[in-house]
Chain A
Amino acid sequence: MSEVAITVDHVAQRFGSTEIFHDVTFDVKTGEVFVVLGGSGCGKSTLLKQMIGLRAPSAGHISVLGHDVVRERANVRQTIGVMFQSGALFGSMNLLDNIILPLSIFTDLPAAARAEIARVKLALVGLADAAYKMPAEISGGMAKRAAIARALALDPPVLFLDEPSAGLDPITSAGLDRLILNLRDTLGSTFVVVTHELQSILAIADRCVMLDRAARGMIALGVPKELQTQSQDATVRAFFNREPL
């Protein structure tokens, strides 16, 4: 776990005259579960969009596996899988077809092989029995798991998950956490997870960066348990110890 998978270098985001954050700098190591955390409105999802190449930073650079996310977008997209906050499953396709879609576009596998791989990915997230269900027929937790299965379709080395546990019950949430760790351990995948679910952060994160709306930037970078006990920053302490500021 030593090679750098993602580099975020002095990144800033402004919307007109409003600055969301500035000078955000960190590395994500290969095989690491790295969490981007912070309160609502601090720019977590914006930073994620920058990291996956959907939004160009106002300043600074981001690279994924050595490719600049703005200039080498096509190369980056072949190496990442993304789970969006809402799941973003295609509503006109059943779950199996949602996962087969990227396999059909990016591989020459025969149809039976694509279906077999898609079934295994669904089984991996515990949805083997729901293969032929439509996205509208499944719960929010199932949709998030199916979205993870779709993100895994091509086994990308880097996965980005936006709020995987938001709105889920503790059991489903813990199951997702276990799945992330399992995939990290068995595949050596690198995960960047955007979340503010404290239990989830403590369960899965090797390291984390904390953004803060008031500071308009990052206020902490490190191992969550160490930040919880050793941070001198009042906001970081309040966040990790669930205390009002």
Chain B
Amino acid sequence: MTPAQFDTSDEAGRPTLRLSGALTAASLSAVWKPAAEFARKASAGLTIDLSNAAMIDTSGAAFILALERASSGAEITGASDNALKLLDTLRHSTPETLPQKPKIAGDASPGLIANLITRVSFLGDTVIASLALPGRLRFLRGADFFRIAERAGIQALPLVVMLGFLIGMILAFQSAIPMRQFGADLYVANLVAISLFRELGPLLCAVILAGRTGSAFAAELGTMTVNEEVAALATMGVDPETMLVLPRMAASMMVMPALVVAIDLAGLLGMGVVLMLLGFPPAAILAQVIATTGPSDFLLGMMKGVIFAGVIAVIGCRAGLTAGLGPRAVGEAATSAVVGGIVATVVLDGLFAVVFYRLGL
């Protein structure tokens, strides 16, 4: 099919634009800009001659309407009946003023405040749901609880052990080099044990939980929200916080001590391997660990881990339950859960550090 072409003339002071060939989306690229420019310059009194146009589809009609608008009204001649009918249809359906692209500048601040309010109110809803739990026990499904605990705990165990072992090794290697200069290599065991029990163990478990479980909660509940399953629960009179959030929170908090123990032991093992390679006997390493750390270090770390787990679970669930609409919403909810979980963990850890210092723990 002949591609679209145009030529112009100025007959008796009346500018004329003659279009020929196929006026279709595929063939208009070369003529659109120059023809529109001619129409704009011609302004009123333009004649658009379509007698040589072989074919006009809706894209061609859109082109002719654009020329009409550019010239502030034009006379169309030589068009077939079908072309005139199509142009009439489009002219009547296309409004004079087209919508403007929405401006999004300035949305950030109100969005931030609204987001903060949602988070606080969600936390409040979860607390209320926890308090009201004894009267709503029938909303809980035991199978769900154990499924979540398995996914958050048992399935995360290999990763936790591997990371703990590697972190213990890395810490031992990195600290052994400077401490050897002072003949204090053996104290690497003290350093690694205390930092693992009090700080790194719960923190690393929290990061793993946020990445694996928090995002999974957000994606699962986000999909349920998008599919209106959460709305269906609400219409049945079932409180989503009780049925969906509390089991996830409880399961996460229940498995966290086990994960912390696992990462602590794996870290100690990694550290022990390094120290043995440096020539220290296992008995000496164990004696250092026992002498330096007490049950309080171990228990404080575990307590922090349990609180981190609860917060991460609530943040993940909130991200899912407040997910927007459309396919992007679930991805955004998962991202929000991971980022929110890790940030909240670090902030809480800072607060714990201050509180423990003040309490002399």
Contact = CB atoms under 8 A, between A and B. Distances in A.
B115 interface: no
B66 interface: yes
A47 to B, nearest CB: 27
A123 B99 CA distance: 11
B90 A123 contact: yes
Given A92-B326, A108-B29, 19 more contacts: A107-B28, A110-B32, A113-B29, A113-B32, A113-B33, A113-B63, A116-B62, A120-B65, A121-B62, A123-B90, A128-B94, A152-B58, A154-B59, A155-B24, A155-B25, A155-B57, A186-B85, A187-B86, A188-B82
A129 interface: yes
Interface of A: 91-92, 103, 106-110, 113, 116-117, 119-121, 123-124, 126, 128-132, 134-137, 152-155, 182, 185-188
A121 B66 CA distance: 13
A138 to B, nearest CB: 10
Given A113-B28, A117-B62, A124 B90 contact: yes
Q: Which 3 A-B pairs have the closest CB atoms?
A: A136-B326, A136-B325, A155-B57
A124 B94 CA distance: 7
* Interface majority SS (helix, strand, loop, mixed), chain B: helix
A119 B32 CA distance: 16
The CB with the most chain B CB atoms within 10 A, among A129, A153, A155, is that of A155
Given A116-B62, A120-B90, A92 B327 contact: yes
B181 interface: no
Contact of A135 (B24, B58, B89, B326): B326
B102 interface: yes
B95 A123 contact: yes
B328 interface: yes
Contacts of A137: 325
Nearest to A90: B327
Is the interface on chain B under 10, 10 to 19, 20 to 34, or 35 or more residues? 20 to 34
30 contacts: A91-B328, A103-B25, A107-B25, A107-B29, A109-B28, A109-B32, A110-B29, A113-B32, A119-B62, A119-B98, A120-B59, A121-B62, A123-B90, A123-B93, A123-B94, A128-B93, A128-B94, A128-B95, A129-B99, A130-B99, A132-B102, A136-B325, A137-B325, A154-B26, A154-B59, A155-B25, A155-B58, A182-B89, A187-B82, A187-B86
Contact of B329 (A120, A132, A136, A152): A136
Contacts of A109: 25, 28-29, 32
Contacts of A119: 62, 94, 98
Contact of A155 (B33, B59, B66, B325): B59
A126 B98 CA distance: 12
B101 interface: yes
B324 interface: yes
Interface in B61-98: 61-63, 65-66, 82, 85-86, 89-90, 93-95, 98
Contact of A128 (B57, B99, B102): B99
Nearest to A149: B58
A110 to B, nearest CB: 6
Contacts of A128: 93-95, 98-99
A103 B25 CA distance: 8
Contacts of B33: 110, 113
A117 B89 CA distance: 14
A173 to B, nearest CB: 18
A187 B25 contact: no
Contacts of B26: 106-107, 154
Nearest to B57: A155
A186 B32 contact: no
Contacts of B327: 91-92
A134 B28 CA distance: 28
A24 to B, nearest CB: 31
Contacts of A129: 95, 99
Q: Which residue, A91, A185, A186, has most C-beta atoms of chain B within 10 A?
A: A186
Contacts of A131: 98-99
Interface string B325-348: 111110000000000000000000
